[in-house]
Amino acid sequence: MKFSEIFIPTLREVPADAVIASHRLMFRAGMLRKLANGLFAYLPLGLRAFRKVERIIREEMDAVGCLEIKPTVITPGELWKESGRWETMGESMLRVKNRAGADFVVSPTAEEAVTSIVRDELSSYKQLPLSVYQINTKYRDEIRPRYGVMRAREFTMKDAYSYHRDEDSLDNTYQAMGAAYRRIFKRCGLTVIPVRADSGAMGGANSEEFMVESDIGDNTLLLCKSCDYAANVEKAGCQPDSPNFPQNAALKMEKISTPHTKTIVELCEFLKTDARSFIKTLVYRAVNVERDLSDAPGCAGLKKRRVAPGAPEVYDEAFFAVCIRGDLDVNEVKLAAILKAGDASLACDADVVRITGAPVGFAGPVGLSTVPVIADPTVAAMRDAVTGALEADFHYAHVAVGRDWTPWLTADIRTVKAGDHCPVCGSELYEKKGNELGHIFKLGYKYTKAMNVRYLDENGASQIPVMGTYGIGVDRTLASIIEEYHDDAGIVWPMSVAPFHVVVIPIKYEGKIKEAVDILAMELEKRGVEFLIDDRNERPGVKFNDADLIGVPLRVVVSEKNLPNIEMKLRKGKNVFLVEIPEAAQRIVAMAYSEAGK
């Protein structure tokens, strides 16, 4: 293809809102243009690279026996009401009505749509396991779309869905998908970190994220220095640690005056002690709670409702007192997961006063019966602690858990941080920032049960299949390749995803130079090499700069002074070497295959 025949509107200036390399370079290289906030159009060069990533994904999905389908982007609202997510997905889901007033959704994900298709066609155990995938447009109404296609409102995802008779079958597919994801990212040239992750709004018990390290990453990762443990901070655990100060369990609890000391810092100063000796009590409000609270203190009057016919019953709202050691922080994602809640966040001051009967800053678990009390294991081990006395300007000292109060539930609600110890081997954990490119989930029966998916087993009994889902952000993957492969001059594409393998730059596209270029182009075309001829009437420096900017892996320069040789140079290297024209095509093919890892 010739430069004059393709639309590559390169820019010398960086867009004002482009703060990361991929965003800047996709605009400067003429790959992308913005239509509105969070909405982007791919231009020809960008789309060629995009299709390369799609092809790699498609080949690896096909290789593990996953079958490609193409559901619609607009899906009936009734399906989302069946699953219960019509109410729980929140404002990020774009809801629309047609002219007849029927509800529809611009798909943010496709569990409901695909499960509906499977439900209508599945009848026998002989059809299982079944794995299908799509590469399709999604829409999520992000509050703050940013970083170009890294966090856009409209984007493309590969999402796969699998249906199984049992957990063993699901696990086999889950492991196969994980292996396929590793191959996909390796073929794209990406260094990924697989981490344990929270399943969030998707539901299910197990999930794994595939992250790339990034200074502007939305995720904090905890990694072990000695073993392969890696987890998103939302899911990360650590080994239990002791408070490392004397605890006298024989001392009896006593109420002490602590005037004007609402915070841990103020208490530490007033009592001349360490934050690790305090039980910090926070009141949380959780919504759409699936966990059974029938035996929980203060919850007898709470009413449950069913958001959809097959969905679990939920409490619209419930309050909890959450206790954690004074030097630690509550992990709200872990808390929501334990409660099977849509969300868990700090209660407002008015609710804290109503529930505890005390001003904010004096909450404590001793004598608190209006709400269930959840304790982190760090608190459950404390035998000589200080905590709020449910009264202004007073705290309790020498509090022992199990003697002076007992939690309704003990669970890991701690936010793990760098310096904590690996739950597997005990070595120190360290932090990295990362961006999620892919996520695989074991969903269990969340959707198949809610949407009443059934099949007959070998005994003729009706059964519900267990389900998994597996997603990759195609746009994010493309942007992440640029984040990993660029320099001051522009993009440095890996051969596997480059929009063209070779850029041929004639100093002047005329006479003997044109003859040589056309002969080379004919040979490259025969061999299946994708090339771009810069036939523009521009100075050589302009052509060289644009070639570096758009990042084509191999540059070939044809000039009168070197004929009958041509000049070859890898984009990522500095060495320039001359090759005779009859050998050039063969050498280019060899280099292209070598760089692509074939």
pLDDT digits (tens, 9 = 90+) for 98-138: 999 999 999 999 999 999 999 999 999 999 999 999 999 99
Q: Is 470 helix (H, G, I), strand (E, B) or coil?
A: strand
Q: Which amino acid makes up residue 390?
A: L
Closest C-alpha to 348, from 376, 319, 368, 377: 319
Residue 596: per-residue pLDDT: 63
14-73+109-217+432-482, CATH topology level: BirA Bifunctional Protein; domain 2 (3.30.930)
pLDDT bracket for residue 203 (50, 70, 90): very low
pLDDT bracket for residue 17 (50, 70, 90): confident
Quick: pLDDT tens for 376-409: 999 988 889 999 999 999 999 999 999 999 999 9
In the DSSP assignment, the letter for residue 421 is B
Instruction: Give the separation between CA 532 and CA 2, rounded to whole angstroms.
Output: 6
* Predicted model pTM: 0.87
Residue 202: per-residue pLDDT: 42
Instruction: Give the separation between CA 138 and CA 133, rounded to whole angstroms.
Output: 14
Quick: pLDDT tens for 253-311: 999 999 988 888 999 899 888 899 999 999 999 998 999 999 999 998 898 887 666 67
User: What CATH number has the domain spanning 500-595?
Assistant: 3.40.50.800
Residue 475: per-residue pLDDT: 97
Tokens of 82: 């069946």
Q: Mean pLDDT, the chain, as a whole number? A: 92
> How far from chain centre, in Å, is Cα 527?
39
The dihedrals phi and psi of 359, each to the nearest 5 degrees, come to: -65, 160
Average pLDDT over residues 359-380: 94
Please, are residues 481 and 493 in contact by the beta-carbon 8 Å criterion? yes
Residue 84: per-residue pLDDT: 86
Tokens of 146: 């940013």
Average pLDDT over residues 455-484: 96
254-410, CATH topology level: YbaK protein (3.90.960)
Q: What are the residue ranges spanned by the domains of the chain?
A: 14-73+109-217+432-482, 254-410, 500-595
CA torsion angle for 562, 565, 571, 574 (degrees, to 10)? -70
- Buried/exposed code over 132-145 (b: 16+ C-beta within 10 A; e: otherwise): bbbbbebbbbeeeb
Closest C-alpha to 170, from 431, 358, 442, 382: 442
Q: How many helices (H) and strands (E) does the chain have?
A: 15, 32
Residue 307: per-residue pLDDT: 66
Of the two residues 58 and 269, the one the predictor is more confident about is 58
Location of structure tokens 């407002």 = 348
Residue 87: per-residue pLDDT: 82
Instruction: Give the separation between CA 392 and CA 162, rounded to whole angstroms.
Output: 56
Instruction: Give the separation between CA 288 and CA 295, rounded to whole angstroms.
Output: 18
Instruction: Give the separation between CA 240 and CA 476, rounded to whole angstroms.
Output: 36
Quick: pLDDT tens for 517-571: 999 999 999 988 999 999 999 999 999 999 999 999 999 999 988 888 899 999 9
- Report the percent of the chain where pLDDT is more than 70: 96
Q: Between the CA of residue 403 and those of 323, 407, 467, what are the distances in Å?
A: 16, 11, 45
Total Cβ atoms within 10 A of residue 61: 25
- Buried/exposed code over 550-584 (b: 16+ C-beta within 10 A; e: otherwise): bbbbbbbbbbeebeebbbbbbbeeeeeeebebeeb
